[in-house]
Structure 1
Amino acid sequence: MVLAILDGWGLSPSWGGNAIEMAMPVHFNELWRQYPHAVLQALRAVHQPQKEESSSWIRVGNSEIGHAIIGAGRLLRFDLDELNEAVVSGAFFQNPALRESFSQIKDNGALHLIGLVSDGGVHSHINHLEALLRLAKQFNLTKVLIHFIADGIDTPQTSALTFIQKTKEIITTIGIGRIASITGRFYAMDRDSNWKNTSACGRLLLQGKGLVVGQPEKAIADFYRAKLTDDKFPPTLITDCKNDFIRPNDTVVFFNFRPDRMRQLVTLIKKDEKNLQPKVITLTSYFYQADDNDNVKVAFPPSYVKNTLAAVISAAGWRQCHLAESEKYAHVTYFFNVGKEKPLDGEERLIINSLPVNKNGKISQPEMRTPEIVDQAIKKIKSKKFEFILINFGNLDMVAHSGDPLLTGRAVKAIDKALDELSRAVLDAGGSLVITADHGNAEQIVNIADDLAGDPETFHTLNPVPLIVVARPIKKNLISQAMTVDRGGLLAEIVNSRRTLADVAPTVLTLMNLPIPQEMTGKSLI
């Protein structure tokens, strides 16, 4: 059994901004026509801490949510849900870890708030920064410094000024806080061991070394004139705070809720070579192994999920291999295994180092490691060592975030070629191949919003994703009876489908003749 997750491959009718359809993926389309398929919803509705009921819900789809729901076989409550509800209920302001840490900040100490400031809802949310400022106000803290990480990936590429203005409005309303620095997520949120980028941000935070500009607005204007998008802003200090870097006994709160892109920066801060030893708090758990949590306090610890797909396979005594390139390490490990970072019994992992990005942070080879991934997957299939193989093809999502239609088209073709090779290998081995995706992205790389119409769209979409079951005719006949396709074409399927990513794991277990645990609320499509 092979489960292939096409990161960022959403479904949408063909139009000029659909890089997938424009690239004409002949092999994917052939598999879609020839084998049973379904359309799966891949987003979650999340409550927002706002008074107006009409605007109190957002819909999010991202890699963490997608892989976790696929792996869990059920719809889950995620950190964004928990934090938003804690803000609404007031539990956020009674959090013991936060209150204890804030109460220990001395008169000459500072509170540093570090995180992605946007409303993208993928890695963070500006509302959580506001909640932290309100809590700091309760403790009458006098020195609260905001280290603003600009987005430009999960939000429009040039929207940083909007969030600077929103942050200043929050500061004025609450009466506490200053923006001390501004840095693009390319530097602050690297996850692929590009330590040069992380260290540049670290020097800013720990030593006060970086560009110095009078006001955030001036810095942003300069960056835009240099044709930099928000995510590429170099580490920059604001003049009034140029000496307000992290010092011994300061308290540092990282307010991203998604862990993978904050791990390197947190590791650098908590293990600073000058032994500053600031008190470090993460809003959620960034590390799932005890040793990595040394010197870090977690405000909202995780709750673990039982009987995931990987756990059921492991409990059956079967072997599994999880395969991806390093940019997507988290996706096939603690995302898919739902918070479990240590490999399960019988689980092996093969992580291929991603190609380095160029100095401008751009991906020059849109194929990335797709050819190597499919080659290794075929070797694993032929070895007959594993009953289950999980693959993440990550290049499409990575490239689609650039908003470049030509590069994204090349990424589509690379995956299309890989699917042809992979499906042949699986069928030759007498196995089954389940193809799906975690969320949409590449099917909409042109913005259609009124104020941004025609601009590149770099963030995830809320579109559904495909599910294709590739198997020999005897299984195909069985599957076909259960996976009846709605009449009316793709548009009708997209509109009408009530199936979700939670249905993937039960379907895989049915194909593997393994029992579906009662904790899985998704339904097998067979």
Structure 2
Amino acid sequence: MVEALKKDPSWKGRRGPVVLVIMDGVGYGKYKEGDAVADSKMYHLDAIRAKSPNTKLKAHGKAVGLPSDDDMGNSEVGHNAMGCGRVFNQGAALVSKSIETGAMFTGQAWKDVSSNAAKGGTLHFIGLFSDGNVHSHLDHLKAMIKQAKKDGVKKLRVHVLFDGRDVGETSALDYVDPFEAFLKEQSGSDFDARIASGGGRMWITMDRYGADWSMVDRGWKVHVHGEGRQFATTREAVETYRKEIPGIIDQDLKEFVIAEGGKPIGTIEDGDSVVYFNFRGDRSLEITAAFEEDKFDKFDRGRRPKVCYAGMMEYDGDLHAPKRYLVSPPSIDKTMGEYLAASGVRTLAISETQKYGHVTYFFNGNRTGKFDDKLETFVEIKSDVLPFEQRPWMKCAEITDQILEAIPSGKYDFIRLNFPNGDMVGHTGIYQAVVCSMEAMDLQLGRIAKAVDEAGAVLVITADHGNSDDMFEHDKKSGAVSRKEDGSPKAKTSHSLNPVPCIVYDPECKGEYPNKPYDSILNEGLGISSIAATCIRLLGYVPPKDYDPAVIR
């Protein structure tokens, strides 16, 4: 429990609430070509920025708790940072450290899965097959495979989920071939390690927030039961689908099963062990539920094998899911939400399904529930279940409809919302759709700004990381756009390393901002963790001493 925040005696207050708009995946691009944000007609955002104090914030690498500044930020760590006002070491760093020190392999969870498999069962690994370091990293998988061999495991199977979002959109074989060579080096007469099944991350297994359980159903069938189109090798599966479905990218590759003589080589059976090696929680909870929950009604699991299951981390601290995990997640305490609840601040958090968990669960420090049911309202608007490029505007208008009711209602002191467009559509790699998504979102920013004017509210606009600002692959040395054989730009579907906006629109301040205890020039060089202290100050309170500084002076 935290104590109530102290009132700031110098703050004269505003008539309306503080509104935090998180434009998911919208940064300031480094390159002119491929910057869909700059290329869009963002008339309302530009107008708001022109008359407001604004700055750029870091949203990747060490600024959000990742191991190095070469690591892309993501929505999970971004909302954690904004919500808790400080920087905690995040999943990738925690897992790497646990492997480096050997702590993972001396923990009870690892001992359980490895000793169980060493008794004669198979050790299965399921997870995102890349080094994107957003959900997983292949180095972690390799380290566990080596340890399993040392621990006496005889048979090991890997079920791969191709990426194409956090890494190049058609880079699957760049990972498959070296990994197959690695498995061959490890294998011998007493250790049989092979890829058994797989498919694209947006086609099987990695759904989140219950948006499309059919993905998990397909993953369950292919990983557990070996039901799916059969191939002799993983390379053959990738090459075949690319030939049959022109333009398909890795995240959408259909499911496949590796088989010999018509028989799958890696079904999951009673007595086996299973490790889901993603460290990020949002796309890990549903497959975890399929393995662990006795009362399960999302799809027909058919034969449910009795296995020793472990996740890389605890994906939900409130639900304690999974029951067994290899690395403890960061213990995030004293979040902004907890302080606001203790101070009697009435809060509304809203987004559509794709980012609902980010403005609630992740923003509140990986906490599923509310701090105070009477003070907090959470609203989820159901996302469409179809490719995002087909509806690039997503649900931004519906979100705004509810915001326009909330701002003048007098029911809320603090409102936070997430527009997913820049991230979810950005991941498709379809440039025209991204521009459409940006301009659709901009229309909603104009509607919100008008409501802020009328209510005497304060509007803070920021983002959790970049994405739509960097839609083309570029040569790292020359900066030139990488191109396909036909001369068209090669699409980039991953997040960027670019800074993100921070705009403070406070229309009831006149002239040279005489009515507020902050300067019209904002602090520079900060990260998005500064958003918490900024909002707390704008609400008229003194931020906790251990919070990162606010952007307002």
1:181 maps to amino acid: S
Indicate yes or no: 2:33 matched with 1:33.
no
Q: Distance in 2 between matches of 1:13 and 1:370?
A: 26
Indicate yes or no: 2:29 matched with 1:17.
no
Match 2:410 to one of 362, 384, 389? 384
Q: Distance in 1 between matches of 2:388 and 2:97?
A: 37
Alpha carbons 1:306, 1:519 under 8 Å: kept: no
2:4 matched residue in structure 1: none
Match 2:221 to one of 184, 203, 228? 203
Secondary structure in 2 aligned to 1:426?
helix
2:160 matched residue in structure 1: 148
- What's the CA shift string for 1:322-342, capped at 9, x where partnerless? 100001122112211111111
Question: What's the offset of the Cα at 1:171?
Answer: 1.6
1:402 maps to amino acid: T
Moved more, 451-460 or 477-486: 477-486
Secondary structure in 1 aligned to 2:473?
coil
Structure 2 vs 1, CA of residues 115 and 291 (structure 1 numbering), >3 Å: closer, same or farther?
closer
Q: Distance in 1 between matches of 2:453 and 2:464?
A: 24
Alpha carbons 1:14, 1:21 under 8 Å: kept: no
Alpha carbons 1:213, 1:219 under 8 Å: kept: yes
Structure 2 vs 1, CA of residues 451 and 2 (structure 1 numbering), >3 Å: closer, same or farther?
closer
1:167 matched residue in structure 2: 179
2:367 matched residue in structure 1: 340
Q: How does 1:345-360 map to 2 (within 5 A)?
A: 345=372, 346-357=375-386
Q: Distance in 1 between matches of 2:131 and 2:543?
A: 37
Match 1:43 to one of 34, 39, 60? 60
Structure 1 residues without counterparts, runs of 5 or longer: 49-55, 487-496
Alpha carbons 2:54, 2:501 under 8 Å: kept: yes
Question: What's the offset of the Cα at 1:438?
Answer: 0.4
- What's the CA shift string for 1:140-173, capped at 9, x where partnerless? 2111000011001111111010111232232234
Structure 2 vs 1, CA of residues 432 and 461 (structure 1 numbering), >3 Å: closer, same or farther?
same
1:439 matched residue in structure 2: 465
Alpha carbons 1:41, 1:498 under 8 Å: kept: yes
Indicate yes or no: 2:71 matched with 1:59.
yes
Alpha carbons 1:44, 1:59 under 8 Å: kept: yes
Alpha carbons 2:211, 2:385 under 8 Å: kept: no
Indicate yes or no: 2:499 matched with 1:464.
yes
Indicate yes or no: 2:273 matched with 1:251.
yes
1:484 matched residue in structure 2: 521
Percent identity between the aligned chains? 29
Indicate yes or no: 2:536 matched with 1:520.
no
Q: Distance in 1 between matches of 2:551 and 2:57?
A: 12
Indicate yes or no: 2:333 matched with 1:316.
no
1:270 matched residue in structure 2: 292
1:53 matched residue in structure 2: none
Q: Distance in 1 between matches of 2:185 and 2:105?
A: 18
1:288 maps to amino acid: G
Q: Distance in 1 between matches of 2:504 and 2:124?
A: 49
Alpha carbons 1:223, 1:229 under 8 Å: kept: no
Structure 2 vs 1, CA of residues 289 and 473 (structure 1 numbering), >3 Å: closer, same or farther?
closer
Question: What's the offset of the Cα at 1:253?
Answer: 0.3
Alpha carbons 1:212, 1:236 under 8 Å: kept: yes
Question: What's the offset of the Cα at 1:320?
Answer: 0.6
Alpha carbons 1:215, 1:238 under 8 Å: kept: yes
1:286 matched residue in structure 2: 315
Moved more, 414-423 or 8-17: 8-17
1:464 maps to amino acid: P
Indicate yes or no: 2:328 matched with 1:301.
yes
1:499 matched residue in structure 2: 526
Question: What's the offset of the Cα at 1:174?
Answer: 3.2
Secondary structure in 2 aligned to 1:148?
strand
Q: Distance in 2 between matches of 1:425 and 1:47?
A: 37
1:494 matched residue in structure 2: none
Question: What's the offset of the Cα at 1:373?
Answer: 0.3
Structure 2 vs 1, CA of residues 448 and 111 (structure 1 numbering), >3 Å: closer, same or farther?
same
1:229 maps to amino acid: I
Q: Distance in 2 between matches of 1:477 and 1:111?
A: 63
Structure 2 vs 1, CA of residues 513 and 19 (structure 1 numbering), >3 Å: closer, same or farther?
same
Q: Distance in 1 between matches of 2:32 and 2:20?
A: 29
* RMSD (Å) for aligned C-alpha atoms: 2.1
Moved more, 162-171 or 502-511: 162-171
Question: What's the offset of the Cα at 1:395?
Answer: 1.5
1:492 matched residue in structure 2: none
Question: What's the offset of the Cα at 1:306?
Answer: 2.1
Moved more, 61-70 or 98-107: 98-107
1:119 matched residue in structure 2: 131
- TM-score, normalization by structure 1: 0.91
Indicate yes or no: 2:21 matched with 1:4.
yes
1:193 maps to amino acid: A
1:216 matched residue in structure 2: 234
Structure 2 vs 1, CA of residues 394 and 480 (structure 1 numbering), >3 Å: closer, same or farther?
farther
1:320 maps to amino acid: T
Alpha carbons 2:229, 2:255 under 8 Å: kept: yes
Alpha carbons 1:270, 1:278 under 8 Å: kept: no
Secondary structure in 2 aligned to 1:179?
strand
Structure 2 vs 1, CA of residues 179 and 243 (structure 1 numbering), >3 Å: closer, same or farther?
closer
Indicate yes or no: 2:251 matched with 1:231.
yes
Question: What's the offset of the Cα at 1:524?
Answer: 4.4
Structure 2 vs 1, CA of residues 404 and 57 (structure 1 numbering), >3 Å: closer, same or farther?
closer
Q: How does 1:355-366 map to 2 (within 5 A)?
A: 355-357=384-386, 361-366=387-392
Question: Would you tell me which structure has more helix in proportion to its own residues?
Answer: 1
Aligned residues: 504
Secondary structure in 1 aligned to 2:351?
strand
Question: What's the offset of the Cα at 1:47?
Answer: 7.5
Moved more, 393-402 or 101-110: 101-110
1:375 matched residue in structure 2: 401
Alpha carbons 1:322, 1:350 under 8 Å: kept: yes
- TM-score, normalization by structure 2: 0.87
Q: Distance in 1 between matches of 2:356 and 2:328?
A: 22
Question: What's the offset of the Cα at 1:211?
Answer: 0.7
- What's the CA shift string for 1:13-40, capped at 9, x where partnerless? 6723111111120110111111111111
Alpha carbons 1:38, 1:483 under 8 Å: kept: no
Q: Distance in 1 between matches of 2:236 and 2:467?
A: 32
2:151 matched residue in structure 1: 139
Alpha carbons 2:522, 2:551 under 8 Å: kept: no
Secondary structure in 1 aligned to 2:392?
coil
Structure 2 vs 1, CA of residues 264 and 168 (structure 1 numbering), >3 Å: closer, same or farther?
same
2:11 matched residue in structure 1: none
Indicate yes or no: 2:396 matched with 1:396.
no
- What's the CA shift string for 1:88-117, capped at 9, x where partnerless? 222233222102321122543111100001
- What's the CA shift string for 1:50-90, capped at 9, x where partnerless? xxxxxx87322111111111111112210111111122222
Q: Distance in 1 between matches of 2:509 and 2:317?
A: 42
1:188 matched residue in structure 2: 205
Moved more, 190-199 or 306-315: 190-199
Question: What's the offset of the Cα at 1:138?
Answer: 1.5
